[in-house]
Amino acid sequence: MIARPASRLATICLLSATLSLAACGGAGGGVSGGGGLAEGGIRGTGSSVGPVSGFGSVFVNGIRFITENLSIDDFEGEPGVPVEADLEKGMILQIRGEWQDDGEGQAELVRYDDTLRGPVTSVTQPWDDVARQGRVEVMGFDVTLDRLTQTTLADLATITVDQPLRVSGWLQADGSFRASFIGPVTSADRAQEIEGYLSVTGEEGNERYFVDGLELQIPSGAVCDELELADGTPVDAEGEYSGDAAFIVSEICNGPTAFLDESLDEDVQIAGVVTEAFDGEFANGRFSLNGIPVTTDGNTEVDDLAPSDINPGVLLQVEGRYINDNGVLTLQAEEIEYRDADAEVEGALDGVDGDVLWVGGVEIRQTPFTIREDDDDDDEGCPEVIGSELIGRVALEVAGIQRSDAGYLEALEIECESDVDDSGYQLEGRIEALNRDAGSESLTVLGAVIRVGGDSELDDVEFADLSEGDRVEVDYVADDGGGYIAEEIELEEDDD
């Protein structure tokens, strides 16, 4: 199943990690409730911050950035990630540069900053490879692992207490994190780092400082010039974790809003986690993304979303322009898109037509955001381009966005397996159509029409009780007539 789900500027404090700044084209007028992807294009000069989705140059937020002309001084990294060659898929980058009309960019500066770096203090929920979920604590900070979490670990299920890890992810409103990348830290790279919201207690002159319950010991000279040690301030701190008692700070600086202040005169693009639910209607509403206020108006173009869909923890992509709203950095949204996985399909690769793939009757559309991963250690699996020569030779697991109006799955992540299981297919998504005619019963999910026969097993639900919009998990096989027939149908709990 899928879970629904100044001095420091040089190293960029990525509290909410997928902040994305970029000069971009304006959205079209009107509010769109569905259909195709929102129009618009990134143009000009600016910066983009988001997770790496591919290499051959570097893909970030759907843009291919040419990096071959960069010098070693044009990459600012972290312990263990000192140069561009050390980057991994899912790591959050900041890239400054120029964007061309064809959607490619010429990078001028690349920066990477860990969100958390330190030892695992608890394995709260061991990784479940079927549900594709897990939870760990890193230095006491709650970190959620999900279907889109990328890793260079041999297996997420092998994470153990005291194991040093680096996390690149999204800070959520409750102080927890959702991992975009998680990987090992070598013995030579164990300088530690935390991010979160500052909590201040005590009287003036005797203050105590905490981030998510972890006390910070802040010596004189460790505070960046631009930082005010005030309650609720997002901070990025480097230092030494000394157990549950304290984090001994070597440097503490502002979170992302300090960095964004210099970009008030630029159009921007942000991909990240909703931290405050939507209030109002799209014609006049507001919510928070990565802790940044976002406003909408009658010119905001919205892709396949309702106001009730914009809740804490949901991944969105917003394009617009920063404004100074009574001293508060605010993003006036021009386009809003859903960027979270809400459906999946797995089974043998059945067809390829350019960037369009077919698995079990499901049309899968790849985009520059799509991350392709191997499930094997044999260097086979997913190449950067999945071609027709792989039909029948690989099995795919695809997580993405269900585009119900057009009947396809927009792929966010594709995982390849070289061992093809002939037992059939499995998908999860919302029912788009039902045929209740006797002898011709079927349901349509992700554009695949799946017949329901006498041998189809329905788990704790009757076919007559199913409705369009219900979320189901379906195991099914190809039939002799070129169609598909369900073996098992299970009604899933709605995560909305």
Three-class SS of 35-95: CCCCCCCCCEEEEEEEEEEEECCEEECCEEEECCCCCHHHEECECCECCHHHCCCCCEEEE
In angstroms, the CA 422 to CA 84 distance is: 40
pLDDT value at 12 more than 80: no
430 in a domain, yes or no?
A: yes
Question: In angstroms, what CA-CA distances link 334 with 29, 78, 203, 256, 422?
Answer: 9, 34, 44, 21, 46
435 in a domain, yes or no?
A: yes
Say what the pLDDT of residue 204 is.
85
Percent of the chain exceeding pLDDT 90 equals 43
Token digits of residue 242 = 């000394």
Question: In angstroms, what CA-CA distances link 146 with 112, 150, 177, 298, 494?
Answer: 22, 9, 11, 35, 17
- Say if residues 136 and 108 touch (Cβ distance below 8 Å): no
Neighbours of 431 (CB within 10 A): 19
Lowest mean pLDDT: which of 49-53, 230-234, 449-453?
49-53
- Say if residues 186 and 218 touch (Cβ distance below 8 Å): no
Say what the pLDDT of residue 322 is.
78
Band of pLDDT at residue 244, cut at 50, 70 and 90: low
- Say if residues 294 and 330 touch (Cβ distance below 8 Å): yes
- Say if residues 302 and 33 touch (Cβ distance below 8 Å): yes
Say what the pLDDT of residue 101 is.
63
319 in a domain, yes or no?
A: no
Lowest mean pLDDT: which of 47-51, 109-113, 164-168?
47-51
Bigger pLDDT: 26 vs 463: 463
Considering only CA atoms, which of 289, 231, 224 is closest in space to residue 258?
A: 224
Say what the pLDDT of residue 46 is.
65
Averaged pLDDT for residues 425-432: 96
Q: Is 255 exposed, middle or buried (0-12, 13-18, 19+ CB in 10 A)?
A: buried
Q: Over the stretch 58-88, which tens digit does the pLDDT of each residue have?
A: 877 777 788 887 887 888 777 778 777 888 8
371 in a domain, yes or no?
A: yes
Say what the pLDDT of residue 495 is.
55
Domain that holds residue 460: 343-491
Lowest mean pLDDT: which of 18-27, 134-143, 467-476, 484-493?
18-27
Considering only CA atoms, which of 86, 337, 339, 54 is closest in space to residue 189?
A: 86
369 in a domain, yes or no?
A: yes
Averaged pLDDT for residues 78-99: 80
Say what the pLDDT of residue 34 is.
34
Band of pLDDT at residue 21, cut at 50, 70 and 90: very low
The residue written with tokens 């304290």 in the block is 246
453 in a domain, yes or no?
A: yes
Say what the pLDDT of residue 36 is.
32
Averaged pLDDT for residues 205-230: 90
Q: Over the stretch 325-358, which tens digit does the pLDDT of each residue have?
A: 777 778 899 889 888 888 999 999 999 999 899 9
- Say if residues 77 and 109 touch (Cβ distance below 8 Å): no
Averaged pLDDT for residues 31-55: 54
pLDDT value at 15 more than 60: no
CATH number for the domain including 456? 2.40.50.320
41 in a domain, yes or no?
A: no
Q: Over the stretch 362-397, which tens digit does the pLDDT of each residue have?
A: 999 988 778 887 654 444 557 778 999 999 999 999
pLDDT value at 38 more than 50: no
- How do strand 104-112 and strand 292-297 relate by DSSP bridges? unpaired
Q: Classify the phi-psi angles of 347: left when phi > 0, otherwise alpha if psi is within -120 to 50, otherwise beta.
A: left
pLDDT value at 94 more than 90: no
Averaged pLDDT for residues 295-306: 91
pLDDT value at 485 more than 50: yes
Say what the pLDDT of residue 190 is.
67
Band of pLDDT at residue 271, cut at 50, 70 and 90: confident
Band of pLDDT at residue 16, cut at 50, 70 and 90: very low
Averaged pLDDT for residues 134-142: 95
Token digits of residue 410 = 């927009």
The CB-side HSE value for 176 (13 A sphere, CA atoms) comes to 13
- In total, how many domains does the chain have? 1
Say what the pLDDT of residue 373 is.
74
In angstroms, the CA 296 to CA 172 distance is: 21
pLDDT value at 434 more than 80: yes
Cross-strand bridge partners of residue 320: 268, 333
pLDDT value at 39 more than 80: no
Say what the pLDDT of residue 20 is.
36
Say what the pLDDT of residue 256 is.
56
- Read off φ and ψ for residue 262, nearest 5 degrees: -75, -5
pLDDT value at 44 more than 60: no
Q: What is the mean pLDDT of the chain?
A: 81
Cross-strand bridge partners of residue 177: 143, 171
Question: In angstroms, what CA-CA distances link 126 with 49, 117, 232, 309?
Answer: 30, 20, 31, 29
Say what the pLDDT of residue 118 is.
92
In angstroms, the CA 354 to CA 7 distance is: 46
Give kind and range of the element (H or E) at residue 122. Answer: strand 116-128
Bigger pLDDT: 271 vs 26: 271
In angstroms, the CA 453 to CA 93 distance is: 50
Say what the pLDDT of residue 480 is.
87
217 in a domain, yes or no?
A: no
Averaged pLDDT for residues 83-96: 83
Say what the pLDDT of residue 25 is.
31
pLDDT value at 221 more than 80: yes
- Say if residues 326 and 34 touch (Cβ distance below 8 Å): no
pLDDT value at 257 more than 50: no
The residue written with tokens 């989705």 in the block is 53
Band of pLDDT at residue 266, cut at 50, 70 and 90: low
Bigger pLDDT: 254 vs 473: 473
